[in-house]
Copies of this chain bind each other. A is one copy, B any other.
Amino acid sequence: MKTIKIGIIGAGRIGRVHAENIAKFVPEMEIKTIADPYMSEETVEFLRRLRIPNIVKDADVILNDPEIKAVVVCSPTDLHAEYAIKVAEAGKDVFVEKPVDYRIDRVKEVIAAAKKAGVKLQVGFNRRFDHNHRAVYEAIRAGKVGKVNLVKISSRDPEPPTIDYVKVSGGIFYDMMVHDFDMARFLAGSEVTEVFAYGAVLVDPAIGEAGDVDTAVVSLKFANGAMGVIDNSRKAVYGYDQRVEVFGSEGAVMDENDTPNNATYYGADGTSSSPCYKIMWDRYTMAFAAEQRAFAEAVINGTETQVTGEDGLAPILIAAAATKSMKEGRPVKISEIEG
């Protein structure tokens, strides 16, 4: 087995998740260094237990280390593009967390930097690697649904984020539905060309006061003629709810939420079973691991990544169009946004 040494920039929640998954599940990648200027003692202890040899404050240690061939960028969102570009310029393959950036130009700069440096670029749309969504995708690609006519995605969080986060997140289309825009393109196998968005404040008035909506229904048109629809809610009391359905000329394929167990109780009042997972990290544990394995494969085998820079850009364009559509009360073409 060929292995490579990697670095991780950022040891916040997602950085620690990637570090743990790589240590446990990606034997092809050896984490040599992780860098974050603000690590608690508990974080350092956690990283030590993963046997990461270098736990440092300065990302330059990674950028300047010729032994490190690939870097996973888990910095705060506003530094994603900056670090991704630096990593590319250092001639190292880049995994960058989503969103690459909310600014379209900035995303394009990252893509350009990776192209110029001839390095791999993978964007962290982890849901593409979920075992259930992936099985839907593979059924489509295997021709089981024939020509795709409709893509339906439900995506609901167990709890809204903090109002502080809502204020800076760019809105529900950028920070939440962006995942579903990616999933829609992934499943349809075609680009979104136009969107129409309805949004409403149904969960918490404070979200409205912060300038966002908490519930949204977005219709999509794809270049191949198919249509799509996505619904989002910031709060599903029964847990993290993410299901996809693709309907085509030869059938339909859909998935369900996993649950912590499948025991079913038959009682006098009815039949009951476990609720969905209530925590995102539990829902997508293995998807996070699988995306890092995929990154390792692309890096080691020199193949294209499964989520390219362009895949990082497209959902941002759709989010911009959806935001505009909701504000202006009309369908918006992606070409209006691309300029």
Interface residues of A in 256-273 (CB under 8 A from B): 256, 258-273
A268 near B198 with CB under 8 A, answer no
The A interface is mostly helix, strand or loop, or mixed, namely: mixed
B268 near A270 with CB under 8 A, answer no
Quick check: is A202 within 8 A (CB to CB) of the other chain? yes
Quick check: is A247 within 8 A (CB to CB) of the other chain? yes
Number of copies: 4
Interface residues of A in 171-208 (CB under 8 A from B): 196, 198, 200, 202-203
Known: A268-B275, A275-B270, A331-B329. A132 touches B250 (CB 8 A): no
Known: A251-B268, A252-B266, A262-B256. A200 touches B225 (CB 8 A): yes
Quick check: is A241 within 8 A (CB to CB) of the other chain? yes
**Which of B196, B250, B255 is in CB contact (< 8 Å) with A263?**
B255
Taking the closest CB of chain B, its distance from the CB of A219, in whole angstroms, is 5
Quick check: is A131 within 8 A (CB to CB) of the other chain? yes
Quick check: is A237 within 8 A (CB to CB) of the other chain? yes
The answer for the CA separation of A250 and B134 in the assembled complex, in Å, is 28
A24 near B27 with CB under 8 A, answer no
B229 near A231 with CB under 8 A, answer yes
7 closest A-B pairs (Cβ-Cβ)? A135-B263, A135-B261, A251-B267, A238-B266, A272-B272, A237-B268, A24-B24
22 interchain pairs (CB within 8 A)?
A132-B262, A134-B261, A135-B274, A139-B263, A196-B196, A196-B198, A198-B221, A200-B225, A202-B249, A217-B227, A229-B229, A236-B266, A237-B250, A238-B268, A241-B252, A250-B267, A251-B265, A254-B263, A255-B261, A255-B262, A270-B272, A272-B272
